[in-house]
């Protein structure tokens, strides 16, 4: 019995940490495939922020804001985490509401696990509820691994 894992990225470093976490704890033989998913939000102030890849500098001259390219660049960085690990890696860009799209993809590929990062640390995470990770863990058709940032120092 093997399982398909969906790893979601919002372009944040925390999502890279989540991907590494999966690789650290799962046995590759148990997985049939990994789908790395990025969701572009067309109506948001900034549709996708890629903080993972170092590219983008070179096309600076051309004032091109291709959010889709930013999403693909982030996916490439995340997918590289699973290089040579075993399971086949799929890449997907979707657009819309991140939580909805993550859940839809999880249903489509009949996922056995969804991995998401929860970027919030501190006040905003506590005051402004309703983040993507929260909605995914509420409505996903399978178990969800939410990788949160380490607490600052004290408890580590």
Partner 1 sequence: MADPAHVHDLASELDDDNLQRSISGWLLFFYVLGDVLGSGIYVLIGAVAAAVGGAFWLAFLAGVTVATLTGLAYAELVTKHPQAAGAALYVSKAFRRPFLTFIITICMLSATFAAAGSLATGFSSYFAQVWELPPPLLIAVIFVASLAVVNFIGITESVVANMVMTFVEVAGLAVVVLIGVVYVSRGEADFSVLVQFDTDGSPVFAVVAGAALAFFAMTGFENAANVAEETVDPSRNFPRALIGGMVGAGIIYVIVAMTAALTVPIDTLAESDAALLEVIKADIIPVPVGVMTTIFAIVAMVAITNTTLVALVTQSRILYGMAREDVVPGVFAKVHAARRSPWVALVFSALVVTTLLAVGHTLDAAGIGGSSGVVERLATVTVVFTLVIYALVIVAAFVLRRDERPADTFRAPTALLGIGIVGNAGLLVYVVVDDPTSLLWCAGLLALGLLLYVVERFFGRRGETRPPPGTARTTSTSTTSTGEEHR
CB 48 within 8 A of CB 67: yes
Q: Which of 6, 11, 74, 140 binds partner 1 (CB under 8 A)?
A: 11
Q: Which of 6, 8, 18, 111 binds partner 1 (CB under 8 A)?
A: 18
CA angle 19, 122, 103 (to 5 degrees): 40
Q: Which of 9, 12, 103, 144 binds partner 1 (CB under 8 A)?
A: 12
Considering only residues 113 to 152 of the shown chain, the ones binding partner 1 according to CB under 8 A are: 118-121, 124-125, 128, 131, 147-150
Q: Which of 1, 27, 60, 154 binds partner 1 (CB under 8 A)?
A: 60
Q: In terms of DSSP H, where are the helices of the chain? A: 13-25, 67-81, 98-108, 123-127, 132-139
Q: Which is nearer to partner 1, 93 or 140 (CB)?
A: 93
Q: How far apart are the first and last CA of the chain?
A: 36
Told to check if 32 binds partner 1 by CB under 8 A, we report yes
Told to check if 86 binds partner 1 by CB under 8 A, we report yes
Q: Which of 26, 53, 102, 137 binds partner 1 (CB under 8 A)?
A: 53
Rounded to whole angstroms, how far apart are CA atoms 76 and 74?
Answer: 5
Rounded to whole angstroms, how far apart are CA atoms 78 and 104?
Answer: 20
């Amino acid at each position: 019995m093997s399982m398909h894992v969906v790893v979601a990225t919002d372009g944040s470093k925390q999502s890279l940490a989540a991907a590494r976490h999966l690789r650290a704890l799962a046995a590759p033989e148990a997985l049939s495939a990994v789908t790395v998913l990025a969701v572009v939000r067309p109506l948001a102030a900034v549709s996708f922020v890629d903080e993972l890849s170092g590219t983008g500098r070179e096309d600076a001259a051309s004032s091109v804001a291709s959010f889709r390219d930013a999403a693909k660049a982030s996916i490439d960085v995340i997918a590289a985490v699973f290089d040579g690990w075993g399971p086949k890696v799929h890449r997907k860009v979707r657009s819309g509401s991140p939580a909805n799209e993550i859940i839809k993809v999880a249903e489509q590929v009949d996922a056995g696990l969804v991995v998401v990062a929860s970027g919030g640390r501190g006040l905003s995470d506590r005051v402004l509820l309703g983040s993507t990770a929260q909605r995914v863990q509420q409505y996903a058709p399978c178990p969800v691994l939410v990788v949160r940032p380490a607490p600052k120092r004290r408890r580590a």
